Amino acid sequence: MTAGMSRARRRVRVLGTLAVAASWSVLFVGAAQPAAADTQSKQWHLGAMQAEDMWKVTTGEGIKVAVVDTGVNPSTPSLQGQVLKGVDATGAPGDETDDYEGHGTTMAELIAGTGKGGGLKGLAPGAKIIPLRIALDEFQEEHSSSIQDVADAIRAAADSDAQIISMSFGSRHTTPQDREAIKYAHSKGKLLFASVGNEGHKQNERGYPAAYPQVVGVASADRKGKVSFYSQHAGTVDVASPGSDVPSWCDNSFKSYCDGDGGTSAATAIASASAALVWSLHPDWTANQVLNVLLDTAGRDWEDGVRSKYLGHGLIRPSMNVLKGKGDPGAPDISPLTKEKTTGAAKSSEPSSSKSGSPQPAKNGEAVDKAVAVNESNSSDNGNQLGLILGVAAAVAVLGGVAYAVVRRRKAA
């Protein structure tokens, strides 16, 4: 592969600002509360999603989530005992436990963190994390990382014991290697989630891996159940999940958490944790059935079967199944994304020769949005469960919070 081709590969990840709405920060001024109460109180999505009630039924035990990201630090108080052996696909110094940004560790905590020592508490604290390290942002330029690290990491995740693969990153470009790795993971019965990106207010281009038909594209929603203004909506959204105003580790020193927008990265981690809760409760289900229930029970106030450009099937609500038993799992061998029959587990880690599933309508650009245009442009907040539990339709506007994206080029390996 030429240097020019490799430089064309770009990945976008939200960094966010440290500022939050005044109404948010004023709650903690002079409070002198323990770090745990401070950080976890800012995790508004746990209350909105009825986490405490769900944890009385399941915490995600028995489920493993592969986190393809910047690495995962297993030594943070919230992740001690939660991280299993993983793979470093970068070829750079260190291993999968050396998180060079703090981003992957934040995602892991949002999924399976225990909250100990003042850390973030995951939506599925009973689940376990398998870290897969890839090169993102500045790390791409500082190290001669393999151009195939994403594909290698996804294949390693597919061959692992993980049932769910969480990918909080994105690129404007696709490669045959990445495409085949996604198909391979899908053939192994994995449930794949990826962020749709954070430039919805700018270029708003299709991002990969979220754009692949076998991957669940996750948009970001705010505390009112409205789509975050930066959340991309280029035909790749399948579901929306909390992302605005979600705290994160400030950097790779792991000394403190910062306020700001977790963006579609955090939304993807929380969606992955939602799947872990449902799958833990129904261990005999396939990935197709778990996803079908999540899409079936997603919060929306438009007609079933109609896709929202900004929210896909709607706001993810695992509590509808965990607490109320709702949701039709459907056929175990039919993908709710491609509508095609899945082939089952692959026999080896060689690239799959099977054809990819037909792209779903939501991943083919402009489609089925007129029916929900009015709802999305003016969703109201009734103040009950922050709009998330009630499944209020999303608007493009967001109140408070700012995010921005940084684009980095890959160098030739």
Q: Which amino acid is at 24?
A: W
Intra-chain end-to-end CA distance of the chain, in Å: 9
Distance of CA 101 to the CA centre of its chain: 17
* Catalytic residue chosen out of the listed positions 45, 103, 186, 313: 103
Distance of CA 363 to the CA centre of its chain: 17
Tell me how crowded residue 95 is: count the other CB atoms within 10 A of its CB: 14
| 45 annotated active-site | no
132, β-bridge pairs = 68, 87
Pair type for strands 128-133 and 191-195? unpaired
d(CA 85, CA 253): 22
* Catalytic residue chosen out of the listed positions 45, 69, 178, 259: 69
| 173 annotated active-site | no
* Catalytic residue chosen out of the listed positions 145, 241, 265, 308: 265
Tell me how crowded residue 324 is: count the other CB atoms within 10 A of its CB: 10
Say whether 323 sits in a helix, a strand or coil.
coil
| 265 annotated active-site | yes
Based on DSSP, count helices (H) and strands (E) in the chain, helices before strands. Answer: 13, 11
- The answer for residues whose C-beta is within 8 angstroms of residue 135's C-beta and 6 or more apart is 90, 92, 143, 145, 149, 410
Residues carrying an active site annotation:
69, 103, 265
